[in-house]
Structure 1
Amino acid sequence: MMDRILTNKWSVRIISLIFAAILFTSVTSTSTNVTNVTDGVYVDVINNVPVEVYYDKDNMNVAGVPDTVDVTISGPKGLVQLAKTQPNIIAYIDLTNAKAGTQSVKIKVKGLSDRLKATVNPPTTKVTLAEKVTKKYSVDVELNKSVIADGYQAGTPKTDPKKVSITASKEILDQIAYVKATVSDEKDQKSDFTTKATISAFDANLNKLDVEIDPGEVEVAVSVSKIGKTVPLRFQQSGNPADKTVTITSITSDDEKVTVIAPESVTDTIEQITIPIDVTQTTADKTIEVSVPVPTGATSVTPTSVKVKITTGKKQSDQSSNGANEGTGQPKEESPNVTTPDTETGNETDEDKEDDQTDTEDTTKQSSTEFKDIAISIIGLVNSDSFSTAFLNPASGKVNITISGLKTEVDALGRNDFNVVANMSNLQDGTHTIPLAVHGLASKFTFTLSQSKAEIQVTKKVADASDPVLN
């Protein structure tokens, strides 16, 4: 049957015609983006055509113009495809003779062949034409965190000029909440520096506003000062080994110094940091890691912890020890960076032993004390002069703290020996819940706060604007 069909010339012609029709349909249907063909008229869409607007740019400001529109074109296939591949089409709004105010205007097109028809989507838009107003604004400088090196702080940046002129419609000018010069190109500065920064204007939600700023760039001078001080570490032996045959010969660390981050008024009073080392459970040489306490009034220390090597020895009999000392005529050698507990020699009476036992009980007794209404200090807020802060919870900005430790050491604590702080680094205006920390309290103490977090509202001070000048 198939052989008879293929040998018949009319069958072959019909099959060829069918294949030709299928091929023609396939080619025409895959023409680029051609969406419709009616009576030889081809239709296609050119997306994202930029919109130009013509108006008195020297004296007027316009808002509400869309960035782009879609244009549907129709006409002969060749011209449609040419318009797609070589887009000369321009969408525009003509406001040269328009009056100030809000109005609906038609979006027109040009640059097409007269034989093509164009339809714009959307065909119209609502725009606002307003007279330009110029105001002068003070400039706030914003420094990225990476600009200043660790252990250093920036003073109040100064700009030249101090104010810039911003031109826009009154409606847009009323939206300006911040005028900022952001410094980000500089890195790890340790000394005073001067750089240039571009000016931008923002609304209350930090949306950038489309305005004219003159000058668009200012010179920023920043003073940089060191806020840290390097001081030596000293290790103080706490207690004696429980094993009476073990002695402590030295307590040392490869980290002999630390840097204290604090204002100069605080670092001037710090000459060294003493860390107590508990050796009561020491039976042989060992290395331990201990935290470095943050001095009162300081923000932090670097490093925050150090490794300490405890070297031990074995006690000789009293007779041998005395003989050795007498034979050499030299006192027992002690490590220069370790302070050992005072000891007394001589015969002890029963009364002395009772007193020693009472003293031992007092020094090992645990105790707690509560300090009430400790004010929370806010640290880390960049450009703090540009913000105001208010405590929402606790409303008083104060908390209670209970500190526990050895009774003799807890009893010696005062309100000035520690600070409760809320670190607001890298935060902007808004309401923030900040974890509370305690600075300056030695690591040998434990503490409990009446609340572990504070809710703080940060408000940006309104930009200072001078009287408007009409163009």
Structure 2
Amino acid sequence: MDNWFKSRWFVRAISLAFAIALYVFVQVEMDEYQNESRLLPNSGADVQTVEDVPVNIRIDDESYVVSGVPEVATVTLEGTRGTLTATAQQRNFDIYVDLEGLEAGTHTVDLQHTGIPEELKVYIEPKTIEVTIEERASEEFDVAVDFINVDQLPDGYEIGESQTDPGQVTITSSKEVIEQIAIVKVFVDVSETTEPIDSREVPVNVYDASGNELNVRVEPENVNASVDINNPSKNVPVNVETTGELPEGYSLSSMSSNTEEVEVFATNEVLQNLEQVSTETIDLADITESGTVEVGLALPDGAIVPDTDTIEVTVELEQTRTFEAVPIDVENLGAEQDVSFVQPEDQAMDLTVAGNQEDVSELAADDFTIFINAEGLEDGAHEVPVTIEGPDGIDVNGEFDQVTVEIS
């Protein structure tokens, strides 16, 4: 390698290569500068830029549709200040793309202008665009109605029949796009809706089979949607639901709802399988007296009974009580006679009473009389039937049906 650098011809070759590379680089830069100079305004003149200038399309729009044309362009004007300022402020000029005479297909065309004074230089960005021209097609489509926020309908409400006015729209685009149309529909928001929707204006949406929205011309763009909002109801009986067992000493005489039936509002899907409504479960273990119990209704999801938070359930209980060692009286014993009890020895017995809980709960042992009739009994041992007297409506059972006494 050191020997190469000592060679005069090698050094000359390297120098020549560097010189050629430098010349090419400078030439390329100069060409780019000259090209930019042709596009940009003269830095020594007055210049104004007008942005967002609408781009018009000149074509037979009854026969063709065009894509690829920008909606707006940026226009830079150069010239004398008076003319320049007036033109930029008034914007009395037109930027357009002239497609008349071109056939269907893809074309590269320039944006053009008209209405700009000749003494002004004009620079348009973009200058050149690629457009696609397609044959125009129109077709009528039925409009379907779809709903959003259905889950936000109040409980008991459901969507009924729906329609739009008009029921069809005319869609215009290229034949290719028209063939892609799969769905034409409007969306109606039904959240918190309790009344029918009458002629609500909504925009029409167009989609292909994959659910992609298509950019087409729709006539009319909006339609009036009407939707029935229903609130079905059904009268059903009320069933009292219980669990557990009554405390010891109590039995259930009757339990019934003071409300025999209720009107339930729900969707038809819920109502068709609804034959009765149960109360919330009543725990019998907590009941120790007759009376009324307020309890809610166990409604299925989505069902309501307006103005009825709770209902009353009437409970009738029977209670059983035992009174221990109630004395046994002796009636009609002879004046010269005396009596002693053999069985039971203590001349007393237990009483078991049963009846309406309200009545039984107020009883005491002295509300009952237990006695035997000693009339006509001679001296000696006798088995004598026991008689028990007490309040009406109370079932009384004595510990013994008869007792054994000794008359002397």
TM-score tier by shorter-chain length is 0.5 to 0.7
Q: Does 1:128 align with 2:166?
A: no
Moved more, 84-93 or 180-189: 180-189
Distance in 2 of aligned mates of 1:120 and 1:236: 83
Equivalent residue of 1:173, what SS?
A: helix
For residue 154 of structure 1, report the CA deviation from its aligned partner: 2.9
- How far does the alpha carbon of each residue in 1:289-333 deviate from its partner, in whole angstroms, 9 at most, with x for none? 978342xxxx522379957899999989666943858998689xx
Q: 1:139 aligns with which of 140, 143, 156?
A: 143
Q: Does 1:238 align with 2:243?
A: yes
- How far does the alpha carbon of each residue in 1:70-110 deviate from its partner, in whole angstroms, 9 at most, with x for none? 22222234444444433334321111222111111111233
Equivalent residue of 1:45, what SS?
A: strand
Q: Indicate the structure (1 or 2) with the bigger Cα radius of gyration.
A: 2
Moved more, 316-325 or 123-132: 316-325
Distance in 2 of aligned mates of 1:310 and 1:266: 24
Report the counterpart of residue 374 of structure 2 in structure 1: none
Distance in 2 of aligned mates of 1:192 and 1:99: 48
Q: 1:272 aligns with which of 253, 269, 277?
A: 277
Amino acid at match of 1:96: E
Report the counterpart of residue 49 of structure 1 in structure 2: 53
Pairs within 5 Å for 1:160-239: 162-183=167-188, 188=193, 190=195, 198-204=203-209, 208-214=213-219, 216=221, 222-229=227-234, 235-239=240-244
Contact (CA 8 Å) 2:278, 2:297: kept in 1 or not? no
Q: Does 1:322 align with 2:360?
A: yes
Distance in 2 of aligned mates of 1:253 and 1:90: 83
Higher relative contact order (CA 8 A, sep 6+): 1
Contact (CA 8 Å) 2:105, 2:132: kept in 1 or not? yes
Amino acid at match of 1:170: K
Q: Does 1:151 align with 2:156?
A: yes
Amino acid at match of 2:136: K
Shift of the 85–251 alpha-carbon distance from structure 1 to 2, 3 Å rule, reads farther
Contact (CA 8 Å) 2:149, 2:191: kept in 1 or not? no
Amino acid at match of 1:117: K
Amino acid at match of 1:277: I
Distance in 1 of aligned mates of 2:92 and 2:278: 75
Contact (CA 8 Å) 2:143, 2:169: kept in 1 or not? yes
Equivalent residue of 1:134, what SS?
A: strand
Distance in 1 of aligned mates of 2:269 and 2:100: 63
Bigger strand fraction:
2
For residue 53 of structure 1, report the CA deviation from its aligned partner: 0.8
Shift of the 115–140 alpha-carbon distance from structure 1 to 2, 3 Å rule, reads same
Distance in 2 of aligned mates of 1:323 and 1:187: 54
Contact (CA 8 Å) 1:148, 1:190: kept in 2 or not? no
Pairs within 5 Å for 1:37-116: 38-39=43-44, 41-116=45-120
Shift of the 190–268 alpha-carbon distance from structure 1 to 2, 3 Å rule, reads farther
Report the counterpart of residue 117 of structure 1 in structure 2: 121
C-alpha RMSD of the superposition: 5.3
Equivalent residue of 1:172, what SS?
A: helix
Give ranges in structure 1 of 5+ residues lacking alignment.
Answer: 1-34, 332-343, 348-471
- How far does the alpha carbon of each residue in 1:329-380 deviate from its partner, in whole angstroms, 9 at most, with x for none? 689xxxxxxxxxxxx9989xxxxxxxxxxxxxxxxxxxxxxxxxxxxxxxxx
For residue 193 of structure 1, report the CA deviation from its aligned partner: 5.5
The percentage of counterpart residues that share the same residue type is 24
Equivalent residue of 1:177, what SS?
A: strand
Report the counterpart of residue 19 of structure 1 in structure 2: none
Give ranges in structure 2 of 5+ residues lacking alignment.
Answer: 1-39, 323-352, 368-389, 399-408
Shift of the 251–68 alpha-carbon distance from structure 1 to 2, 3 Å rule, reads farther
Distance in 2 of aligned mates of 1:185 and 1:310: 39
Q: 2:302 aligns with which of 289, 300, 303?
A: 300
Contact (CA 8 Å) 2:104, 2:133: kept in 1 or not? yes
Shift of the 136–85 alpha-carbon distance from structure 1 to 2, 3 Å rule, reads closer
